[in-house]
Amino acid sequence: MLIQTLSQGAKTDEEYRGKLIFGMNRDRVLCVLGVVTILVALFWMMTDNGVQGSFLSGVFTGTGAVIFFFSLKNILKTKRMLKNEKLLRAERLKESDERNRLIAEKAMYWAGMSTMGLCYVTMLVSGFFSMAVFWSVWGMVMAYCILAAALKKYFEKKL
């Protein structure tokens, strides 16, 4: 819902219908990704990778299942909305409401800032114990900052 609120800006029902169809196609790709993740995890489980391998295969099996089932849920919800004009209109109005958009923008901003704060603390602590963890978190922070700057430039031109 949060990401849908940020991505939707349809002024008419037909425009919203097009965005829903695009989102449904994206969810189909995510369903395939979920199944592929599960298959890779099961393959990894069949090869003897020790304790770490069995742990990671469980993590990726669960992650793949969550991706698959949430994407499938979104596809079914979208198909139901596309068949019901009243539901389609109500959902479009709910997602394009300015208050909901502002709430979603603030939530995403503070989630990003909180994540950066946690990454900074993780870098401080991990510097004492593991440089591999430090550099991994540092790379994530740099990727986040570069993406934020690039997306800011993109949206300055697009909007």
Q: Kindly report, residue by residue over 57-77, the tens digit of the pLDDT.
A: 888 999 999 999 999 999 999
Phi, psi (5° rounding) for residue 10? -75, 135
Q: How many helices and strands (H and E) does the chain possess?
A: 6, 0
The closest alpha carbon to 62, from 42, 91, 79, 92, belongs to 42
107 and 155 both lie in a single domain: yes
The last residue of one of the domains, among 74, 96, 118, is: 96
Q: What percent of the chain has pLDDT over 70?
A: 90
Which one is predicted more confidently, 52 or 154? 154
| Domain housing 21 | 1-96
Using CA atoms, how far apart are residues 73 and 71, in angstroms rounded to an integer? 5
The closest alpha carbon to 146, from 122, 116, 106, 114, belongs to 116
Six-digit token string for 55: 């742990």
Say what the pLDDT of residue 9 is.
Answer: 65
- pLDDT tens per residue, range 6-32: 455 667 778 888 888 888 999 999 999
- pLDDT tens per residue, range 78-107: 999 888 888 888 888 777 777 878 888 888
73 and 12 both lie in a single domain: yes
Looking at residues 105-128, what average pLDDT do you find? Answer: 91
pTM over 0.75: no
Say what the pLDDT of residue 69 is.
Answer: 96
